[in-house]
Amino acid sequence: MPAQDDIHIYLASESPRRRELLERIGVRFATLPQGVDETPHDGESPEVFVIRLALEKARAGLAHRPAGDPRPVLAADTAVVVDDRILGKPQDRSEAMTMLQRLAGRAHRVLTGVAMVDGEQEATRLSLSGVTLRPIAEAEIQAYWASGEPQGKAGGYAVQGRGGVFVEQLEGSYSGVMGLPLFEAHDLLTEFGVDYQASWREGR
């Protein structure tokens, strides 16, 4: 993690996947705390849900930004959707088993909302991907839960980890399914004037 005075942006997230993705493209950042209620509102569409939460997380992070610091805050939220139902993070083994049994052998949507705020302006983007999982035997699901990976993952699986062996097809943004679509993130960084590619030009 770079020093506080050597960062491009703040990230309102503790997600290792989002940190990894930003590091991959050379964005220097520091993390800020955010605590928002991730319960969907009644009648709220998945698209509205992920954008709302991303924006709420970014605003929550902004409240913790050092006074007088103009650097923007980035946040994101990801939802797995099947049969128009949002699947959150499994709370226990039983819920994870139910989620993966429901997703196995069929297609579902993965939506990630991304938001950036700086105290003067706010902007959001939405990434939509389609994922098809192959049929998964119950013994595999049990072994996967025992690995510890499904915990804390929307839909109960991680495409970038062991859960990748279940993915038969992915249409859209791989990084978006991971939790931070880099195309949309770049769009927001550019809109807010963040020159994160300076290190590229320097060969770093």
Backbone phi and psi for residue 167, each to the nearest 5 degrees, phi listed first:
-85, 115
Q: Where are the alpha helices (DSSP H) in the chain?
A: 16-24, 46-62, 93-103, 138-147, 174-178, 182-191, 198-201
3-state helix/strand/coil string of 1-59: CCCHHHCCEEECCCCHHHHHHHHHCCCCEEECCCCCCCCCCCCCCHHHHHHHHHHHHHH
d(CA 185, CA 33): 19
Which residues are identified as catalytic?
Answer: 77
d(CA 130, CA 110): 6
d(CA 105, CA 131): 11
Name the residue type at position 135. Answer: P
d(CA 199, CA 152): 33
Dihedral of CA atoms 184, 185, 187, 190 in degrees, nearest 10, equals 180
